[in-house]
Structure formats: C-alpha cells, structure tokens
C-alpha cells in the first residue's frame, strides 16, 4: 500500500513539475523573448530562409499581441493570442510602451489574418511613403542609395516549404547561380541596410501612402519578393499595422540552417551564428 502511494505521489510530482515548467516557459515567452524561424525570402539578404532568432518583446512594451499563439495543425491545436489576451485588444495601446525606430526589423501580427510577419519599419505615424522607379521616397524625398554589389545564392528548393528563389539573371537550372542586384539604402534617421532587386514590377511604382496615427508602414528588404504595406489589406497585403500588433524587435540571428529542417545540423551556416541584424 505504501509503495502504491509512493508511486502515485511520484507521478503527481512529475506532472506538477511539467506544468510548472510549461507555465514558466509561457511567462518567459510572453514577457521577454519569443523564438522566430524565417520561413520565406522576403527579407533577404538581411535574413535568410532558415535563420532562427529570438524576438525582443521588451523593446516596445506589451499588448495582446505579446501573448503567444499556439498552432499545431497536425494535432488540431489552434490557440490564437486573442483567445488568451483578447481583453487587451481594441485600444491600440501598450503597457510600458517603447517607441519603434525607423529601420527596426520587427515581428508583428498581420492586422487581418493574425499570422506573424517580419519586415523592416519604413514609415512612422504621419510619414508619407511612396516608391517611384524602385526608389523609396519618405516625406517626399528619395532615400540615399549606393551600390552594394551582387547577392548570389544557389538556385534550388529552400527551407521546409521548398520554395525556389527568383533571380534577376533569368531562369537558371538547379544548382546554378541565382543573382540579384544589391543596394545599400539609407533611411532619413541614418539607418543603413541592404535591399535587393529582381525585376521591374508594379510595386516599384506606388501611390503616396500617409501613415495614420498609431500605425506603421513596413517593407521587406527583398523588395520585389515581399508582401508588405505597399499592398492594402483589402487586396491581400499588410497595409498599415497598428501599434498594438507589434510583437517585438529582431536583434540577432542565433543560428541558421540551409536545409529543410533546423535539426539537420550539417546544413547549419556557421557564418550566421549570433549575427547582428542591421
């Protein structure tokens, strides 16, 4: 009898330990850092498919979007941040708010779908943003650009979704060199970062967007391969993003996998370990 009680007590303690560990992990993820894995090429070459990073949630304070969404389709789990912290939604405010800076690389919730996106902050509240001939204009003035050489990658399936990159140098076969022109863009506050060009397309010439109060305008660094604020939400894009939808700032890549799985350690990119995000 005593032995059975001891076994039951041991099982209860194990369950309690697991529950406590999950609670602690949940609090840590909600308040401090959230893991994020790059699934697409919209931020090349700043971020590559397979980069793994932690998002700094303390940078901008906290809102309902700070609560994690838990989605595991394989076993039918779909818990949205609004299901947990929806009572914070609706005011477009944040607790312990910190102001984002132009040029920050930010993870945010899509205003319609709720999916997590990562893009560069281009337009602050009150700014006007327009792209003319592929050149970004902020408040009526073109940003400074200088040549950044060429970005090259192997043409082939990338990441778990096996997407193939678009190339400026035309169709190339598997294993061929897929090239894109690279420029260094300088924003009005002095922030510099690389952008890529693939082709001339509609997103190279846009209307003038005026960023409303309490909202932000985001763009991907891989300018011709990014769904971002240049496309309104009604047309399937991102549009203007409310302040409360910001999750956090991406500061540093921890590790990076060039294969289809983060577990494939032989595909890790050694040159990207702890790489600062600029």
Domain boundary assignment for the chain:
1-31, 36-61+99-276
Name the one residue in this structure whose structure tokens are 């399936």. Answer: 157
| Class of the CATH-defined domain 36-61+99-276 | mainly beta
Is residue 244 pLDDT above 90, yes or no?
Answer: yes
Is residue 24 pLDDT above 90, yes or no?
Answer: no
For the chain, give the percent of residues with pLDDT over 90: 69
Whole-Å CA distances, 277 to 33, 82, 116, 206: 16, 29, 18, 28
pLDDT in tens, 31-44: 577 889 999 999 99
Give residue 28's pLDDT: 42
Tell me, yes or no, if 119 is annotated catalytic: yes
Averaged pLDDT score across all residues of the chain: 88
Q: Spot the catalytic one: 57, 119, 180, 275.
A: 119
Distance CA 192, CA 151 (A): 17
Give residue 18's pLDDT: 47
Q: pTM here? A: 0.87
From 128, 85, 126, select the one nearest 109 (Cα to Cα): 85
Tell me, yes or no, if 275 is annotated catalytic: no
Using 50, 70 and 90 to split pLDDT, how confident is the model at 103?
very high
Using 50, 70 and 90 to split pLDDT, how confident is the model at 58?
very high
Give residue 68's pLDDT: 80
Q: Give residue 229's Cα distance to chain centre.
A: 13
Is residue 190 pLDDT above 90, yes or no?
Answer: yes
Using 50, 70 and 90 to split pLDDT, how confident is the model at 151?
very high
Query: For the residues 94-110, what does the mean pLDDT come to?
Result: 95
As separate numbers, helices (DSSP H) first and strands (DSSP E) second, the chain gives: 2, 17
Name the 3-class secondary structure at 55: strand
* Cα dihedral: 67, 71, 77, 81 (round 10): 20
Give residue 21's pLDDT: 44
Query: Any idea which of 8-12, 93-97, 146-150 has the lowest mean pLDDT?
Result: 8-12
Q: Spot the catalytic one: 42, 66, 226, 256.
A: 42
Give residue 157's pLDDT: 92
Distance CA 134, CA 200 (A): 8
pLDDT in tens, 153-169: 999 999 888 999 999 99
């Amino acid at each position: 009898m005593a032995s059975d009680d001891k076994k039951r007590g041991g099982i209860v303690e194990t369950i309690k330990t697991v529950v406590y560990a999950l609670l602690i992990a949940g609090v840590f993820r909600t308040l401090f850092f959230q893991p994020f894995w790059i699934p697409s090429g919209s931020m090349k070459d700043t971020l590559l498919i397979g980069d793994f990073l932690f998002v700094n949630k303390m940078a901008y304070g906290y809102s309902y979007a700070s609560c994690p969404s838990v989605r595991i389709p394989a076993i039918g789990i779909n818990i949205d941040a609004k299901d947990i912290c929806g009572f914070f939604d609706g005011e477009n405010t944040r607790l312990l708010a910190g102001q984002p800076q132009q040029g920050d690389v930010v993870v945010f919730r899509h205003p319609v779908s709720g999916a997590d996106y990562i893009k560069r902050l281009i337009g602050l509240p009150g700014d006007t943003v327009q792209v003319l001939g592929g050149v970004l204009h902020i408040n009526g003035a073109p940003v400074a650009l200088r040549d950044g050489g060429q970005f090259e990658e192997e043409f082939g399936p990338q990441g778990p979704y096996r997407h193939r990159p678009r190339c400026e140098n035309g169709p190339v076969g598997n294993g061929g060199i897929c090239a894109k022109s690279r420029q260094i863009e300088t924003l009005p506050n002095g922030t510099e970062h690389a952008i890529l060009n693939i082709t001339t397309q509609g997103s190279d010439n846009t209307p003038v967007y005026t960023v409303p109060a309490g909202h932000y305008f985001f763009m991907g660094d891989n300018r011709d391969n990014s769904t971002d604020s240049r496309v309104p939400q009604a047309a399937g894009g991102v549009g203007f993003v409310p302040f409360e939808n910001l999750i956090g700032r991406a500061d540093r890549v921890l590790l990076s996998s060039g294969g289809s799985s983060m577990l494939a350690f032989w595909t890790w990119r050694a040159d990207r370990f702890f790489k600062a995000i600029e």
